A and B are shown apart, each in its own frame.
Chain A
């Protein structure tokens, strides 16, 4: 039943947006729709922690704690981003940057985009999962190239081409897996639930190669270095509420697909095979991101590279393994989604006010926009990983897991790069937020929708930074159990 709401509401909203031409009114309806989805997905998570049997119409869909966790993430970020979008689009329409018609086009794309992301997490068939991940690319490309400027079109083109080419490799991996499933597993099915049940019989050699293709393919979409080259372009050119969705949750849906395959592979190949790959890609992601964050001039690109960093951290968490490592990785996915959404939405307001994203030209945000300035500096500390914010907790978990499992080199490199990035982020943001404001910029009060969404996110970061709620803890542990098999 929950499934109907989660998939149905975005689809209905997409259709309604075609007919309702007043984008302001529709925005409020839209936010209510996502509030309902958020409540439904919370109920879904409660049911799963209490072992209530879920009603799922056919084997085409599959929902367990792992998918419910990602559904909750998508629901949360798309709800908050939909609140923020109301004011963002309204001022765009008022300034004449876009027409009413284009604004309702935005709402349609927004809903279709959310729909495809939800679809990835609930579908059981790995082939259909591939198609829906490709769909997320195709639809969000329009949101990246929304303003039709030279830069945004360039970013959108690179985004589609690189991600589609990458995902071809993921399909090749899926085909190889299907080959060994049908030959050695004895079933002709691509359903994840079926494959897991025969995973022990698969041919280890073919499975290993299949996983390499999957990791590189979906890793392109998840933003792992060296396949990340499209990410800073697309995330910096998209509308800020969409950047929050792209960085906050789209990367994680690709990672969700990798995790699903990892569960299968770990059942027939020794665990250290996937773990070493995750640590390898994670560490180089951290290293490259650290370099680019140090020398970054553009505030949105800085946040995009920070997403590469955090995907690297999630990957390292899975690589260290053990209950603590996997728990840390999943928890970090949540923390990063919330914090990065906060930063992108806050930075979006700043970029809009200063009409530039060059950090040399943005000074004295705290004088110009006191509210956003305070939130941004807190957010910068949260993103860099300082206590008492939630990212600190998950990073400590992952680090501890590294030492516990004996991956000393990995853990030390992790600490080194996270330290560099901490310094770089605080340095850049303190220059942006403090200092003398340019003469031409007037002090204004921000939009109420932007303030509301920022406050909601900050509250979440603080609550989860102090302690993890009992229900949420149990929920993540359920998901960890599924990953450990």
Chain B
């Protein structure tokens, strides 16, 4: 019951990010999605009495709810870029595309993967839709920050997918993945500064000097 509510909340935050027009809104969407993911992990940890899951939940909270959003807002502050994300597809069409993603993920899970028990089924199809939504944000939004957030959203989806399958991956794999995401965001932040310095903008679609 709680799990279902949290899962649908994850989907809703996904839709919020898809519909977001401003950088601030998409970062807030990411924070809320990570927070819900944290609550979900906490719930799973409580149910299974597993210390490792508590640790994973704690890491999730520190890395994805506190540190990474902090880095993201630091970028926004430092480079004083205009607030618009720059949409290639308007929010209405984007929402319809995202709805299609949810349908597709459900069908995929249902027909092809055929996970047997209830919760896994729901969680896995939600995680697939979140991954697709993240990819969508990476492709159809212009600002470099949107690509970082898109990548992070796909990582959220991966985390959920891993959790939905037999209660998570081996413990140290989870730790290594967190470390990896953390490093990835720091390095991407450095490159956003470099792009801003060299090009005086961070519009990814205008990075077209290399061709052929």
Contacts and interface: CB of A to CB of B under 8 A. Distances in A.
Interface of A: 125, 127-128, 130-131, 134-135, 138, 141-142, 145, 148-151, 153-158, 160-161, 164-165, 168, 171-172, 175-176, 178-179, 182-183, 188-190, 205-206, 209, 232-233, 236-237, 292, 295-298, 301
Nearest to A168: B154
Contacts of A298: 212
Given A125-B170, A157-B191, A298-B212, 11 more contacts: A127-B169, A131-B176, A131-B179, A142-B187, A148-B194, A155-B210, A160-B184, A160-B187, A168-B155, A205-B112, A292-B212
B158 A153 contact: no
B138 A145 contact: no
B161 interface: yes
Contact of A134 (B114, B184, B199): B184
The 7 A-B residue pairs whose C-beta atoms are closest, nearest first, are A127-B173, A179-B165, A131-B176, A182-B166, A154-B207, A233-B210, A168-B154
A350 B76 CA distance: 42
Interface residues of B, number: 40
B170 A157 contact: no
A209 B113 contact: yes
Nearest to A139: B187
Contacts of B199: 150, 153
B207 A164 contact: no
B207 A158 contact: yes
Contacts of A125: 170, 172-173
SS of B interface (majority): helix
16 contacts: A125-B170, A127-B176, A131-B179, A138-B187, A150-B199, A157-B144, A161-B138, A165-B138, A165-B151, A176-B165, A178-B162, A178-B165, A179-B115, A190-B173, A209-B112, A301-B212
Contacts of A206: 113
Interface string B98-130: 000000000000001111000000000000000
A153 B195 contact: yes
Contacts of A237: 210
Nearest to A234: B210
Contacts of B162: 175, 178
Interface of B: 112-115, 131, 134-135, 138, 144, 147, 151, 154-155, 158, 161-162, 165-166, 169-170, 172-173, 176-177, 179-180, 183-184, 187-188, 191, 194-195, 198-199, 204, 207, 209-210, 212
A161 B194 CA distance: 15
A232 B210 CA distance: 9
Given A134-B184, A141-B187, A165 B212 contact: no
Contacts of B114: 205
B170 A189 contact: yes
B191 A171 contact: no
A484 B187 CA distance: 40
Contacts of B198: 148-150, 153
Contacts of A151: 209-210
B113 A153 contact: no
Given A134-B184, A138-B183, A157-B204, A128 B176 contact: yes
B170 to A, nearest CB: 6
B23 to A, nearest CB: 17
Given A141-B191, A160-B187, A154 B210 contact: yes
Nearest to A189: B170
A165 B135 contact: yes
Name the residue in B169, B191, B194, B210 with the highest tally of chain A Cβ atoms < 10 Å from its Cβ.
B210
B92 to A, nearest CB: 25
Contacts of A148: 194, 198
A382 B113 CA distance: 47
Contact of B166 (A150, A178, A296): A178
A172 B132 CA distance: 12
A188 B170 contact: yes
B176 A171 contact: no
A149 B210 CA distance: 12
Contacts of A160: 184, 187-188, 191
Contact of B113 (A141, A176, A190): A176
A190 B169 CA distance: 8
Given A145-B191, A183-B166, A172 B161 contact: yes
Contacts of A209: 112-113
Contacts of A141: 187, 191
A188 B147 CA distance: 34
A152 to B, nearest CB: 9
Given A178-B165, A179-B115, A205-B112, A128 B207 contact: no
A142 B195 CA distance: 13
A131 B166 contact: no
Name the residue in A156, A165, A183, A301 with the highest tally of chain B Cβ atoms < 10 Å from its Cβ.
A165
B169 A131 contact: no
Given A150-B209, A157-B207, A179-B115, A128 B172 contact: yes
Contacts of B177: 127, 130-131, 171
A187 to B, nearest CB: 11
Contacts of A175: 158, 161-162, 165, 169
Nearest to B155: A168
Contacts of A183: 166
